[in-house]
Amino acid sequence: MTAAHGEEQFDYYDEAGNWLGTASRGDVHARGLWHRSIHCWLARRDGERKLVLFQQRSSDKDTFPSQFDITAAGHLSAGETMRDAAREIEEELGVRVPFDALLPLGEARKEAAGFAKGAAFIDREVSEVFGFIYDAPLASLTLQPEEVAGIYEADLEAMIVLFEGQADHAAAAGFRLGHDQQPMIEASVQVKASDFVPRPSSYYAGVFRALLLAL
CATH of the domain at 201: 3.90.79.10
- The answer to whether residues 16 and 30 touch, using CB atoms and an 8 Å cutoff, is no
pLDDT value for 76: 96
Rounded alpha-carbon distances, angstroms, from residue 6 to 3, 34, 66, 99, 123: 5, 21, 26, 28, 21
Is position 1 within any domain?
Answer: no
- Full DSSP string of 90-105: HHHHS----GGG-EEE
* Mean pLDDT of all residues in 132-138: 94
pLDDT digits (tens, 9 = 90+) for 188-209: 999 999 999 999 999 999 999 9
pLDDT value for 71: 97
Number of compact structural domains in the chain: 1
pLDDT value for 4: 39
What residues make up the domain containing 94? Answer: 9-214
- The answer to whether residues 189 and 172 touch, using CB atoms and an 8 Å cutoff, is yes
Residue 29's H or E segment, with its range, is: helix 25-31
Closest CA relative to residue 44, chosen from 108, 139, 128: 139
User: Which pairing describes strands 34-46 and 119-133: parallel, antiparallel, or unpaired?
Assistant: parallel
Is position 47 within any domain?
Answer: yes
Is position 65 within any domain?
Answer: yes
Is position 3 within any domain?
Answer: no
Is position 161 within any domain?
Answer: yes
Is position 2 within any domain?
Answer: no
Is position 4 within any domain?
Answer: no
Is position 72 within any domain?
Answer: yes
pLDDT band at 213 (very low <50, low <70, confident <90, very high): very high
pLDDT value for 182: 63
